[in-house]
Structure 1
Amino acid sequence: MAEPVLEVSGLVKHYPLTRGVLFKKQVGAVRAVDGVDFTLGRGETLGIVGESGCGKSTVARMLCNLERPTAGAIRYRGEDITRLSGRALKAVRRNIQMVFQDPYTSLNPRMTVGDIIGEPYEIHPEVAPKGDRRRRVRELLDVVGLDPEYANRYPHQFSGGQRQRIGIARALALRPEIVVADEPVSALDVSVQAQVINLMERLQDEFELSYVFIAHDLSIVRHISDRVGVMYLGRIVEIGTDEQIYDHPTHPYTQALLSAVPVPDPDARERRERILLPGDVPSPADIPSGCRFRTRCWKARERCALEVPPLAVPAEFRHDTGPAAHDSACHFAAELRVVPPGERDADGDSSTRAY
């Protein structure tokens, strides 16, 4: 793995539940994020996937310090940014930028595109002299595939894909080292998704970026990611390289997610066994004891209700050097190939890839 630029350990975010109007009393908490650990290497893309409500976007906001964590640490180049404030925090934020999910609400409708992309220079004037900012904005528009003459237009004059390109240009204005992309293509058409994903891959090489790429579409995440973390109810339950997660999953939840990915080959679709999970995702205000996935897991035993499984290489794979030897938070982890073997495209990638 490359040199880590971001290290997250024990990250927790609880939102208090209160009762009363004048005299509010806390009666519980929504445990949106409840102990997340991962590292991000230089030039690496870490994908985070999971169902809606599992805490992905909350993690993204905490990485950019838009939300203060309840507990845990986020270390950028060895410094815990959760303890920073004032000028020190402002300096770190320059190096960690965000691309938001909705291209329609993330841009100010009263500002021109040039003002939107150039606004970071007003906050960090040391990055670009005042007389040079217009040229920088035009260059950024050209980099993301838009006509520099569009700088005087307003957001309502652009399509969703073009707006997301503007959001990406704004994120790149300060030449950050890390970009947190929170479901950047979920609101776009499939053809436009491919264009934006390919743009982000090209910019990663050009600007030497590290990505935290958050999405619920497994095929998109595999296409762009070097490593993938699977989240369930506020925690990462499995993490590894794209090959380990997609071709050799060991956690039951990951296996269930992969079984739901559409397969374009009708023959492969017939041979694949679909894993249907019973019930609904528990409320983050009332999380089950022990393993939080046990209420929907077909492998659940008494031990699952008593012990919280650690995110580590399962015991049966600890002496194995194969792709199944990766971190998985399950007491009864076992490898299961969900995508039928032999279903590969011309590049050797499995059929779960979309692009």
Structure 2
Amino acid sequence: MTSAKGSAARGSATPPQHHPRHGEVLLDVQGLVKHFPISQGVVFKRKVGAVQAVDGVSFQLRRGETLGVVGESGCGKSTLAKLLMRLETPTAGKALLEGRDIYSLGGNELRKLRRNVQMVMQDPYTSLNPRMTVGDIIGEPFEIHPDAAPRGDRRRRVQELLEVVGLNPEHVNRYPHQFSGGQRQRIGIARALALRPQIIVCDEPVSALDVSIQAQVINLLEQLQDEFGLSYIFIAHDLSVVRHIADRVAVMYLGKIVELGTESEIYERPTHPYTQALLSAVPVPDPRARNHREIIRLDGDVPSPANPPSGCHFRTRCWKAQEICAAQEPPLTIRPADPHPSACHFPELRHPVA
């Protein structure tokens, strides 16, 4: 998988915008919580519990940066994406976009937020309306935000967006079923770019694609980031893909971030047992290295988010668990001997086995 960073920009009416990578903080998420209530009863419903999908997530996203979010299915990655898109309302916490809490916005201010934060969906087949042409799909944001492009200029803008993502501008009148999966995902990316957002939330954008097509889409995302100064929150369960595109990586487990660091810190110097277990499961292409690797097999199943363990959520599957792990929740913090934040009472540097 070769990177497209630094490649020449393709033709577009808008010249490439050159922004410094890792600039000022663009998005500041503070203690984000989302609990879905569990109710019983038909006529008189009462709350009997809650699914703790996201439970105190905090991080910062800088301008021009890609933050990868990884973890097992059900750890809260997609719920986090919906919260950042304002598709869900948090139970608690804040998300400050350029200093303003996005959950306190309404009316015109919320419409402006929609322009600045866009999303690329996981499934390129169900995320595009089969009854709309590609031109209508990509141009729909201009109907919702008419000030983004004059009506007479919209067709040209749509064709430029198709060209930017590597598709033929003349295919503007075709329907989604006439494109392959990789081409459909490019259409979804073009739709996300239409309003010139600052942040794009990518919710597993390549998981439904063939490996060779995954590489093309990832390289396209990297090129567009350099071209338009985008910031990405890239959600995935494939650690190899995340390593290729991410500047920093957040590892989630049962609604919490358990380790946060740069790409090299997470992949080369992991300190949390869960991160080490995830890395040990990454396939190794070299048969000689495969024979000498150590596989970390976790005991038990992932606990239910409706009834998570006390203290450290990972303690029921961790080989380091002690009494303090059940009594106290470890904070996500940097300790004197740690190179980066890790939510573990007994963090230990362990060289990756993959």
TM over 0.5: yes
Alpha-carbon separation, structure 1, partners of 2:161 and 2:221 = 13
> What is the identity, as a one-letter code, of the residue corresponding to 2:342?
S
Match of 1:183 among 182, 201, 204: 204
Give per-residue Cα distances to partners, 1:275-305, cap 9 Å, x unaligned.
0001000000000000000000000000000
Match of 2:54 among 22, 33, 36: 33
Alpha-carbon separation, structure 1, partners of 2:192 and 2:55 = 28
Equivalent in the alignment of 2:306: 285
Is 2:146 aligned against 1:125? yes
Equivalent in the alignment of 2:108: 87
Give per-residue Cα distances to partners, 1:96-144, cap 9 Å, x unaligned.
0000111111111111000000000011111100000000000000000
SS in 2 for 1:288: coil
Q: What RMSD in Å do the two structures reach over aligned CA positions?
A: 0.8
Aligned pair count reads 333
Unaligned runs of 5+ in 1: 318-324, 340-351
1:164-179 correspondence runs (5 A): 164-179=185-200
Equivalent in the alignment of 2:319: 298
Match of 1:162 among 145, 166, 183: 183
Equivalent in the alignment of 1:321: none
Q: CA deviation at 1:315?
A: 4.0
The TM-score normalised by the length of structure 1 is 0.93
> What is the identity, as a one-letter code, of the residue corresponding to 2:345?
H
SS in 2 for 1:310: coil
SS in 2 for 1:137: helix
1:13-162 correspondence runs (5 A): 13-162=34-183
> What is the identity, as a one-letter code, of the residue corresponding to 1:134?
R
Equivalent in the alignment of 1:333: 347
Equivalent in the alignment of 1:231: 252
Q: CA deviation at 1:82?
A: 0.8
Identity of aligned residues (%): 71
SS in 1 for 2:146: coil
SS in 2 for 1:67: coil
Equivalent in the alignment of 1:262: 283
SS in 1 for 2:265: helix
> What is the identity, as a one-letter code, of the residue corresponding to 1:39?
Q
Alpha-carbon separation, structure 2, partners of 1:314 and 1:2 = 26
Is 2:324 aligned against 1:310? no
Equivalent in the alignment of 1:345: none
The TM-score normalised by the length of structure 2 is 0.93
> What is the identity, as a one-letter code, of the residue corresponding to 1:332?
F
Alpha-carbon separation, structure 2, partners of 1:243 and 1:316 = 17
Alpha-carbon separation, structure 2, partners of 1:245 and 1:294 = 20
Runs of 4 or more off by more than 6 Å in structure 1? none
The higher relative CO (CA closer than 8 Å, separation ≥ 6) is in 2
Alpha-carbon separation, structure 1, partners of 2:32 and 2:344 = 20
Alpha-carbon separation, structure 1, partners of 2:337 and 2:261 = 17
